[in-house]
Structure 1
């Protein structure tokens, strides 16, 4: 066992886990003061719930070994509870549980991302039920589609999910999604759109009606997200090598460019660059580079960041045009940014993109994977959310929303002003 490689993977897993508290700060600063505890609790609730489900059966569904299909018979029943993975096989580069730990953090952050679309108006218990069901029938299977694959000694696919092994068999190339553009960001963004439609608009929803209550929280959260994202992307190589280094530098370059592009769009459109815009631009660039971080030169990563920052800065206004209340722009940043990063590879992936040596096949494969995940996640999230809303109720009442979700749902206030 390579102790250096094991240490690398465990440290990367810890960095990715830090992203969810970072997301809690990012989202918490964006909502109104009377909803900040509710917003942050949805992220922390995801840590607790998905962490337990991953150990119990999530890993067994997502990584069934050579089957790679979405069906009961593809579950690795021996991995239920992870007992069978306590021993490290002879010659393994790292303990199996190190990989389990790393992938657990992906499941947690993906579920937490969705919560931003339903800020200020969701019941915590209903959210936890949704999170458990959605993770079980959407995230775990989609993770198997994208991340469950094994390579032969010559580098070819030995087995895998349909987006990798299946596409390779059908078209001669599998989807490129190094760290989760489809499985994480498109997946979460599509589910966020579905829930925004199910729960409906906040009271008084209109452009400019809901402003962030704490921009410093937003910047702190974005900083923690960016810090953890180096583990997200570089760690997905599962080894401390040159590919991890390329992923690291691209995870610096793309969001840096996206930050600048977002601020430029803000300056042109609204007259002033904002701190929230800087944070949002960085996150948009991080989203876009996630699937592409190991398949682009740094120069093309900067171009991707510029495109993602500018397009996402414009895309967040789609909710006002189409009338859906995606509270914290999960659709505009994660769904749109994930699509940009995934499809961009079809044009500029090293040696495979349409303009970098390929023939268009890679673009077709990227599009099939992206839109299949989008549709699958959206439909099931809508059905799950609709059933919850019609049975126990997903949304708080308008009166409770106005009074403040923190007090009504959690019995707490984020800020206490005391007079002496």
Structure 2
């Protein structure tokens, strides 16, 4: 009955989140539920969770440093320039503005690898504009989540390069060798599903005006951008440092080194005064600290599930249910992947787990290596959209809820689950059948 541990603990996590229990508390309780169901005592279950948190320590540190880097960038005023450009050229053009935000978010995964750290800097100043234009913030949440997911699925650069290489290495560790370029090719079709989901969200589901003036208060930072800001040498230096940090990150393969090098250059070239260093780091922790902590506890939750044998039991239970029909097999594999990944909320962290399941089942079922890679990548991506513990949903909420008008579950998680996970399953199955 170990396989039920995964099902019950993940469902409890989702239920607590829907009941508006904070995600961090929901994760801890769900981890303890999983441990108790496996026969562990409360203290042992808690120890397992804490031990597992160390698996994401590097990721958490990278988020903190990226947050500090993003704060340093914002202090140069370059984000004010961007906000002014958006307001000047796109005011009154609701759909174009939302799609532009999706494009800007996409750059955060490769060109300027700050991931979600840009959201609390870019979005709050635009909240007043959203309200004036009566833009449905669920459309903005969908646009942001698209930008945080689609690039790493389709583009082998920045986070995408890391994601594709992790799939290649996980498949190889399970006896199936593939070139990294082949993995990138396999993920194009699921990526198209993301594009379809974005267009449906922006052009159909949330196209109608939505008035939120009666809720919350517009934050001060949304009112402080009336003074024109011109592009200057400091902004040019900032852009050069961003490019350098990107190159360092790509060459080293380490987000921590890339973010750290960017921070050091910001202070070394006096783009940001050295005396502001302590405040920059403190603000970076404020921006990204909560999300980093949630990612740590999510890793602990994952460790409890794996160490109790619950994931292996779920795999063993699933295998006999799969027949010779590729369509049915692919669909069931992705549903199982969704169940595993949405509770953990990290596409990168679940790739090794999914590969251990998908490689042997895929080979037995007659899927090609390309199809197996597509299934692994799709199932891993399912853990980002719609999951209450994913940085791809936590990030958008951190910006859109700056004035208290945006609910994490119902305004971010539910819309992104509907518009991205459903297309990902459909296009993932298509990829498995045609590749």
- TM normalised by structure 2 equals 0.30
- If each structure's helix is expressed as a fraction of its own residues, which one has the higher value? 2
| Structure with the larger RCO, 1 or 2 (CA within 8 Å, 6+ apart) | 2
Provide the TM-score with structure 1 as the length reference.
0.31
